[in-house]
């Protein structure tokens, strides 16, 4: 056992004295030490229940013969951080979470780990750490929020942001907005649509690192506590069998995850996180391969913001295993991949029934014949960009219009809310990428303002930043190379015509090569927006979005 390095032998007597100071008994020291990595805090609604999840996990570990030891991880609430400097600190926490988990796990020589994340960057940060540390590990999330109810309709956080846009447009009163405010987020949990947090928790199941229900059982259901107890028990089985993340997160598992991503219509942020996790697992993950998988993978789910269904309904319909079983009928998944159940994917999903063919469409009746995410390229994004096409209305799948150019999110929001953006426009927000932001802010405020003001079916938005999973419409993000390093998006001028062709995976700036070269000769790098602290260090080390915004030292 790894923990023998801190619990066994005469040289470890000082270590045992410190365990004694913790109140740990000799019996507990003689059992495997299982680290419980918990991102509980009192500021993130998706994390306020994680203390209860952790307690249930610890009961399961102890019942199965291990000694659970909890330590924390940080978490940022993207919704609370949205629209101000706080959003610069969202994506960047992914690497802090990964690094700090590595530090704690290896400094204290845990034999195994149970990861308890829930929201956005915490799930991929912990998955990156799991791959890096490579001791037996299992995930159990805090679960999704129940949908809210406003005026007899189910609603979620994206509805709240769009309500603000509707108020600005004069189509909602202050009282209407207050009604949304008090009802769209009725419980703890990760926000109730297929946003980034729920996308990543669902894909954790597909990767094989979480038990069935990890992504879909609502946070307030007692089944979530039972799941946590079972995860605590299961980690001891994984330790006994020495099943590690490297046995589970294989290349084939990542292809499975990307395939199910297409079927679910996940957040475009998965196109940042899957490459970063794969990098830690030792694989290259080219985001462009999403298109090849998309061409043969039907989109089976339309959860908010793409449609009017919510995570609780996906859970009732059979959850992720039911979606996977549908895809397996088309031979789209590798069924031999190992999982934390100790069984293969094929064994796990066998007999999992689709209980509601409207929530999870059958493969012969999909919402779309192609997958939920498209990776575009062209002279405006030579190294690719991404769009959640399952959330794009049909009339915006192809679009051509004049560029309205803004060098930060705030200026774009002011123009949108000031009525300066009109039907047909293509809003370009640049210098918001991983380096330029720094931190690659999410653009939920401008996309919600566009939708709320009734422009969602006639205005596109393109950025080297990224989008919340709650964004909908022709929202094209992760433009690479980004403006801060001189990517073509830095050369766009007001009124340039931009052509979007999602079905053919194209994004083109209709400006001649000669004119672009003239503009490039006159382009000058911008002074860094942040010169001190963690963000300044991050900006120096971070790579482009198409590489997953990973950190490198060379």
- Catalytic annotation on 458? no
Q: Residue 110 has what DSSP assignment?
A: -
Report CA 443 to chain centroid distance, whole Å: 14
Helix (H, G, I), strand (E, B) or coil at 141: coil
What element of type H or E holds 261? helix 251-264
**C-alpha to C-alpha distance for 121 and 144, rounded to whole angstroms:** 15
Catalytic hit among 468, 471, 480, 544: 468
Residue of 415, 468, 474 lying closest to 158 (CA atoms): 468
Angle at 314 between CA 329 and CA 198, to 5 degrees: 105
Candidates 441, 457, 460, 450; CA nearest to 418 is: 450
C-alpha to C-alpha distances, 180 to 43, 149, 177, nearest whole angstrom: 21, 9, 5
Report cis status (omega within 30 of 0) of the bond before 553: no
User: How many alpha carbons fall within 13 Å on the CB side of residue 100?
Assistant: 17
End-to-end C-alpha distance for the chain, whole angstroms: 35
DSSP E strands in 464-533: the ranges are 475-477, 497-501, 506-509
Cis peptide bond N-terminal to 481, omega within 30: yes
For 353, counting Cβ atoms within 10 Å of its Cβ (0-12 exposed, 13-18 middle, 19+ buried), the class is exposed
Helix (H) or strand (E) holding 153: strand 153-155
**Residues ≥6 apart with Cβ < 8 Å to 313:** 303, 356, 359
Packing angle of the helix pair 409-417, 444-452 (nearest 10 deg): 10
Dihedrals phi, psi of 146, to nearest 5 degrees: -70, 150
Which residues, listed in sequence order, are joined to residue 388 by a DSSP beta bridge? Answer: 373
Entry field: residues in the chain: 554
Three-class DSSP labels, 350-409: CCCCCCCCCCCCCCCCCCECCCCEEEEEECCEEEEEEEEHHHCCHHHCEEEEEEEEECCH
DSSP state of 89: G
Q: Known catalytic residues? A: 468
């Amino acid at each position: 056992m790894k923990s023998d390095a801190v619990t066994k032998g005469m040289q470890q007597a000082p270590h045992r004295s410190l365990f004694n100071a913790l109140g740990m008994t000799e019996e507990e020291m003689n059992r495997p030490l299982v680290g419980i990595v918990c991102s509980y805090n009192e500021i993130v609604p998706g994390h306020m229940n994680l203390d209860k999840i952790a307690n249930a996990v610890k009961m399961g570990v102890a019942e199965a013969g291990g000694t659970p030891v909890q330590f924390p991880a940080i978490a940022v609430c993207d919704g609370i951080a949205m629209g101000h400097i706080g959003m610069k600190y969202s994506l960047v926490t992914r690497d802090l979470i990964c690094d700090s988990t590595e530090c704690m796990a290896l400094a204290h020589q845990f034999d195994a780990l149970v990861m308890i994340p829930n929201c956005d960057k915490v799930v991929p940060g912990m998955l990156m750490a799991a791959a890096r540390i490579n001791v037996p590990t299992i995930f159990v999330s805090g679960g999704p929020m129940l949908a809210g109810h406003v005026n007899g309709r189910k609603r979620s956080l994206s509805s709240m942001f769009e309500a603000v846009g509707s108020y600005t447009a004069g189509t909602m009163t202050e009282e209407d907005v207050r009604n949304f405010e008090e009802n769209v987020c009725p419980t703890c949990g990760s926000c109730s649509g297929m946003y980034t947090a729920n996308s990543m928790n669902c894909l954790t199941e597909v990767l094989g690192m979480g038990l069935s229900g990890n992504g879909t059982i609502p946070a307030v259901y007692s089944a979530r506590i039972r799941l946590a107890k079972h995860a605590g028990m299961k980690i001891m089985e994984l330790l006994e069998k020495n099943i590690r993340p490297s046995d589970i997160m294989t290349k084939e598992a990542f292809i499975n995850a990307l395939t199910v991503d297409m079927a679910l219509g996940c957040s475009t942020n998965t196109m940042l996180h899957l490459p970063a996790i794969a990098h830690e697992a030792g694989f290259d993950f080219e985001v462009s391969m999403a298109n090849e998988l998309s061409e043969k993978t039907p989109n089976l789910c339309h959860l908010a913001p793409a449609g009017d269904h919510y995570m609780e309904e996906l859970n009732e319909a059979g959850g992720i295993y039911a979606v996977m079983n549908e895809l397996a009928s088309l031979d789209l998944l590798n069924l031999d991949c190992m999982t934390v159940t100790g069984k293969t994917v094929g064994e796990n999903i066998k007999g999992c029934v689709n209980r509601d063919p409207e929530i999870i469409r059958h493969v012969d009746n999909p919402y779309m014949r192609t997958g939920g995410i498209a990776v575009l390229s062209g002279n405006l994004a030579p190294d690719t960009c991404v769009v959640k096409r399952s959330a794009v209305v049909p009339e915006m799948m192809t679009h051509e219009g004049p560029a309205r150019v803004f060098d930060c999110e705030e200026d774009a929001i002011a123009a949108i809310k000031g009525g300066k953006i009109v039907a047909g426009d293509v809003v370009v927000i640049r210098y918001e990428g991983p380096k330029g932001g720094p931190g690659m802010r999410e653009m939920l405020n401008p996309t919600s303002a566009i939708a709320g003001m009734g422009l969602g079916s006639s205005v596109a938005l393109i950025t080297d930043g990224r989008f919340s999973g709650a964004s909908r419409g022709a929202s094209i993000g992760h433009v690479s190379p980004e403006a801060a390093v001189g990517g073509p998006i830095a050369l766009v001028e007001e009124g340039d015509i931009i052509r979007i062709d999602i079905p053919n995976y194209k994004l083109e700036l209709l400006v001649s090569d000669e004119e672009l070269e003239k503009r490039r000769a006159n382009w000058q790098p911008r002074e860094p927006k942040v010169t001190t602290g963690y963000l300044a260090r991050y900006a120096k080390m971070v790579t482009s979005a198409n590489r997953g915004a990973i950190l490198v030292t060379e």
